[in-house]
Amino acid sequence: MRKILGFLLVFAAAYGSAACATVRPEQRAVLADPTMRFEGEPGEKAATEHVLENREASFGGGSVRGGGCGCN
């Protein structure tokens, strides 16, 4: 229980500090670059994860869509 509370506290602090991050839209050119996207090449990533999930007992925690210009 202490571990969970500790994690929630750290998460809340980190999330709160996210509001302080001020990257303006015109500064997001690099963040929009394909090399900065966490999901990378989704097809290639899915194929590799498919192999690993059949070789190891672990699962989850894969990349989600995120990063990029946030311009939509």
Partner 1 sequence: MQLRRAFNRPRRFVATFAALAAWAFAGQAHAQVAQVDVRDTLFFEPSKSSKLFVMTPAAALAVQPVEWLDVHARYEADIVTGATEPIKSGPVADVVTSATHFSDVRNQFGGGLGIVRRDAHLSVDYAYGTESDYHSNAIAVTAGTDFFQKNTQIELQYARGFDQVCTTNYQPSTAPSGRTRLDSSDRCFTKSPDRASRSVDLDTFQVGWTQAWTPVFATQMVLTGALQHGFLNNPYRSVVIAPAGQDALENHPENRARGALSLRGRYFIKPIMAAAGGGMRFYRDTWNILSETAELEFEKYITQSFRILAHGRYYHQTEALFWSDDYTGGEPATGPRGQYWSGDRELSPLSSWMLGGRALLGLQGAPGARVLGFMIRFQASGSFDLLKTNLKDFTWSGTSPDDTVAMIMSFSLRGEF
Establish if 12 lies at the interface with partner 1 (CB under 8 A). no
For partner 1, the binding residues in 26-65 under the rule CB under 8 A are 27-36, 38, 41, 43-44, 47-48, 50-52, 54-65
Q: What is the DSSP string of the chain?
A: -HHHHHHHHHHHHHHHHHTT----GGG-TTTTSGGG-TT-SHHHHHHHHHHHHTTSS-------S--S----
Chain residues in the site for partner 1 (CB under 8 A): 11, 15, 18-19, 21-25, 27-36, 38, 41, 43-44, 47-48, 50-52, 54-67, 69-72
